[in-house]
Amino acid sequence: MSALRALIKKYKSRKISTQYLLLLIPAIALLFITFAVVVYYLGKPEALKTNLELSEIIAKKTNQALIRWLEEQIRTAQTIAHDPRVIDACAAPLDMQKRAAAQKFLSEMHARYPYYENIPLALKLAEGQTVPVNVRGEEKTIGNGNFFIDTVDGKTIGKCGPQFSYIQNVFAGKPYFISEVYPSILRGNPIFVVAVPILHNGAIIGATIVAPRMDYFTEFFVEKSVMGMTGYLVMMDQSGMIISHPQKKLILNPRGKDLIKPVMDKIRAGESYFLSSFDGQDKAYYVEKLTTAQFNMQDSWYIIFCRGYDEILAGIFAFLTKTFISVLLIVIAVTLFVYFLTRNLVTKPMGKVAQAVNSVALGDLRVRIDTGGQLNEVGILSEAINKMTVSIREQTIKIRESVDTLNGIATAIVSASSQQDEAMKGFEGNVAQVGVSSKQISATSQELARTMEGVKRAAEEASRLANAGHASLTGMQGAMQTLSNGTDVVSDKLALINQKAKSIDSIIATITKISDQTNLLSLNAAIEAEKAGEYGRGFSVVAREIGRLANETAISTLDISDVINEMQSSVVDGVKEMENFRQGVTHGVRSADDAAMQLSQVIAKVAYLSPEFDKVNEGMHFQSLGSGQISDAMADLNHSAGQMSSSLSQFKAVTEQLNSAASRLIRTVSRAVV
């Protein structure tokens, strides 16, 4: 599996022209193989049919020629048998003159037909009868069916006999008889015998024998009946013995019988055209039978035409070879054509496209691909890349402008954040001072309340001791003077509280302006982030967070402003009350100065001041409560200021990140050459 993936990866790394060829060549090869298989399986029956027709013609013509040749051998034997010299010799076998005449005639016939192994004459005698014959000075006894004349110098005289099939059949009255093929008794050559009876006065007195050699038959018929390189004739008898074959060593050879056995089995099964194996080679066989019904024969003969299976299909293979060569030439031409066509129409233009894309990847947005007016797929792709490059260049210019604007906004936000941070730190200090002052006012108010309580007790004591005399009045003058001094201190403290409250107003105004400016900056940053599109999405989130913090600051500032306004109102009321009280104390001092002379009036005045002291005491109590509330409000304001300071610190960190991101974006955009 890994090897397949590596092969696919290697294939994908090839050029398009090479990929085309790697696909085209196997596809054509597959088509040719499919075509070859179809041609083979469609052409094979036709080739076998054609071979059958040719084999049938050759075998039938050979069969007809063989029949004519056998008839000729029969006629030759009959001619010899009907010759008077032959009849006379058989009728008088002891007559040397007649035997010599017959011998001369037979020798002449043998010279005329040299393919005969021998032309002997067999003598028919009664059972047990013999005839002495002198053969070259040698006395031989001739019995029934023995040869008494031959054409091979007497070598076969005395041979043969009534046990031979052709002697038996001829002596039995058949007009002729063709024997089986067998080794000759003279040389051992394969021969067959045509025997014809010799008649004298209607009686059989002997037999004429002609013995054609099978090697002549093979040379005359078999070896000349060839077709192609492997087509040839074979003859077998009904026992399966080869009686004629181009390889003469197989004639009457038991090995040849074994080799031909599969063929003989199919013949015996009744098949006349079939495929079989012979000596390890597949061959097609066609069989014609020369039967005993046609001739007086010992065995039926089979004329077989066989041809190599490969040669039969050689026409198909030759056609496929020519087709393969033609297809190969076409494939080479198509391959070269496709290669150069792909190279010129795809590879080179795609190289330009790849070079342009690499330039764009390196930041050069000025490149442009020359399509040469082509409107094919590569031209369309090149034009699309040109449009894409122009669009990217325009977008880059806009992004660069937006980034410059964003960088300025980020710098302004950082600066504003620093200013807000410093302002909040100053605000925290002022709030702390207001808190301290509020605590001091509360403490002073409580002290004043206690003092007024003492004045009240002193007035009551003065009223009670008014009759005590002038000395007590002098003490009251001192107490009144102390009260006057305390009133001045309270007035100063209230004035200071009023001044601090006004300072808080200016701080609140500053915070409000900062909040408005921050809100405006966040709105501008959000607008610029929207312009920047995908690149400004992070800035949009930061701008919304800044706007939210600015809104919370504005709300907190309004709350502080309301608290300060309430505190200012309370302080103003306290100042008025303290002014009234101070005037009363001054008036009391003046009255005390006149107390010596108008003690009764002082007692009356003191009695009158007692309820006023209750009012002042109550007012101071309320003033103390107001101061406590102011102190609590200042503590809350101080806490809010701390939160605001923390938020501003976070906002400053975010704006610094925004500034850093804007700087990185500037560096990224600056890589593009437009």
Query: pLDDT tens for residues 50-77?
Result: 888 988 898 888 888 888 888 999 999 9
Higher pLDDT, 421 or 130: 130
- Residue that finishes a domain, picked among 259, 286, 309: 309
Do 263 and 204 share a domain, yes or no? no
Residues 188 and 220 in one domain: no
Whether residues 517 and 397 share a domain: the answer is: yes
DSSP 8-state symbol, 175? S
- Round to whole Å and give the CA distance between 183 and 231: 27
Q: Does 359 fall in a domain?
A: no
Res 499: pLDDT:
74
- Higher local confidence (pLDDT), 300 or 669: 300
pLDDT, mean of residues 611-628: 66
Beta-carbon contacts of residue 155 (< 8 Å; ≥ 6 apart):
186
Give the pLDDT band of residue 626 (cuts 50, 70, 90). low
Question: Coil, helix or strand for 232?
Answer: strand
**Cβ proximity of 403 and 662 under 8 Å:** yes
Q: Which residues pair with 122 in a beta bridge?
A: 147, 207
569 versus 668: the higher-pLDDT residue is: 569
Which residues, other chains included, contact 47 with Cβ-Cβ below 8 Å and sequence gap of 6+?
312, 313, 315, 316
Most confident of 108-112, 223-227, 525-529: 108-112
Are the C-beta atoms of residues 119 and 109 closer than 8 Å to each other? yes
Q: What is the pLDDT of residue 327?
A: 79
Percent of the chain with pLDDT over 90: 17
Task: Report the distance separating Cα 98 and Cα 48, nearest Å.
Answer: 60
Domain boundary among 211, 241, 260: 211
Whether 645 and 622 share a structural domain: yes
**What pLDDT does residue 535 have?**
67
Please give the pLDDT value at position 354: 74
Quick one: residue 664, left, alpha or beta (phi over 0 = left, psi -120 to 50 = alpha)?
Answer: alpha
What DSSP element (H or E) covers 228? none
Predicted confidence (pLDDT) at residue 644 exceeds the cutoff of 70? no
Give the residue-averaged pLDDT of 544-561.
75
Residue 3 falls inside a structural domain: no
Q: From CA 355, how far away is CA 612, in angstroms rounded?
A: 102
Interval 637-649 mean pLDDT: 68
* Higher pLDDT among residues 468 and 115, named by residue: 115
Task: State CA 430 to chain mean position distance.
Answer: 74
Q: Specify the pairing of strand 242-244 against strand 301-308.
A: unpaired
Give tens-digit pLDDT for 315-343. 787 887 888 888 788 878 877 777 777 76
Overall average pLDDT of the 410-430 stretch: 69
Q: Please tell me whether residues 108 and 204 are part of one structural domain.
A: yes
Q: H/E/C letters for each residue in 310-342?
A: HHHCHHHHHHHHHHHHHHHHHHHHHHHHHHHHH
Is 235 in contact with 301 (CB distance < 8 Å)?
yes
Asked if residue 198 and residue 235 are part of one domain, the reply reads no
Residue 589, C-beta contacts closer than 8 angstroms, at least 6 positions apart: 477, 480, 481, 484
pLDDT interval class at 97 (50, 70, 90): very high
Supply the pLDDT for residue 434: 61
**pLDDT reported for residue 188:** 77
Q: Would you say 48 and 87 are in contact if contact means Cβ atoms under 8 Å apart?
A: no
**Chain mean pLDDT for the chain:** 78
356 in any annotated domain: no
Residue 332 lies in a domain: no
Please say which residue of 289, 309, 329 terminates a domain: 309
Report residue 464 as tokens. Answer: 């009670």
Q: Which two tokens stand for residue 93?
A: 């076998």
Instruction: Say what the pLDDT of residue 220 is.
Output: 72
pLDDT band at 395 (very low <50, low <70, confident <90, very high): confident
Same domain, 207 and 224: no
pLDDT tier, 91 (very low <50, low <70, confident <90, very high otherwise): very high
For residue 531, is it within any domain? Answer: yes
The H-or-E segment that residue 248 falls in is none
In Å, what is the CA distance from 569 to each residue of 18, 270, 504, 622? 94, 141, 14, 13
- Per residue in 511-531, pLDDT tens? 778 777 877 877 787 787 777
Given this model, what pLDDT does residue 569 score? Answer: 78
The confidence band for 632, taking pLDDT boundaries of 50, 70 and 90, is confident
Kindly report, residue by residue over 529-539, the tens digit of the pLDDT: 777 777 666 76
Task: Return the pLDDT at 82.
Answer: 94
As a whole number, mean pLDDT of residues 106-110 equals: 94
Tally of domains within the chain: 3
Cα–Cα dist 574/304, whole Å: 151
- Co-location of 431 and 474 in the same domain: yes
DSSP secondary-structure letter at 625? Answer: H
State the distance between the two ends of the chain, measured CA to CA, in whole angstroms: 48
CA distance 371 to 375: 8
265 shares its domain with 187: no
Identify whether 366 is part of a domain: no
Question: According to the model, what pLDDT value does residue 466 have?
Answer: 57
Burial readout 242-267 (b: 16 or more C-beta within 10 A, e: otherwise): bbbbeebebbbbeebbebbeebbebb
Tokens at residue 126, please?
A: 């009664």
* Same domain, residue pair 405 and 539: yes
Q: Residue 292: give the domain boundaries.
A: 216-309
Residue 279 in any domain: the answer is: yes
- 282 in the same domain as 198: no
The pLDDT value recorded for residue 111 is 93
- The pLDDT value recorded for residue 617 is 65
Pairwise CA distance, residues 487 & 496, whole Å: 14
> Are residues 369 and 359 in contact, defined by beta-carbon separation less than 8 angstroms?
no
Q: What is the CATH number of the domain that holds 196?
A: 3.30.450.20
Q: Does a structural domain hold residue 23?
A: no
293/177 same-domain check: no
Categorize the per-residue pLDDT at 214 as very low, low, confident or very high, splitting at 50, 70 and 90: confident
Band the pLDDT of 103: cuts 50, 70, 90: very high
Q: In terms of pLDDT, which residue wins out, 87 or 473?
A: 87
Q: Is the model more confident about 54 or about 4? A: 54
pTM for this model (two decimals): 0.48
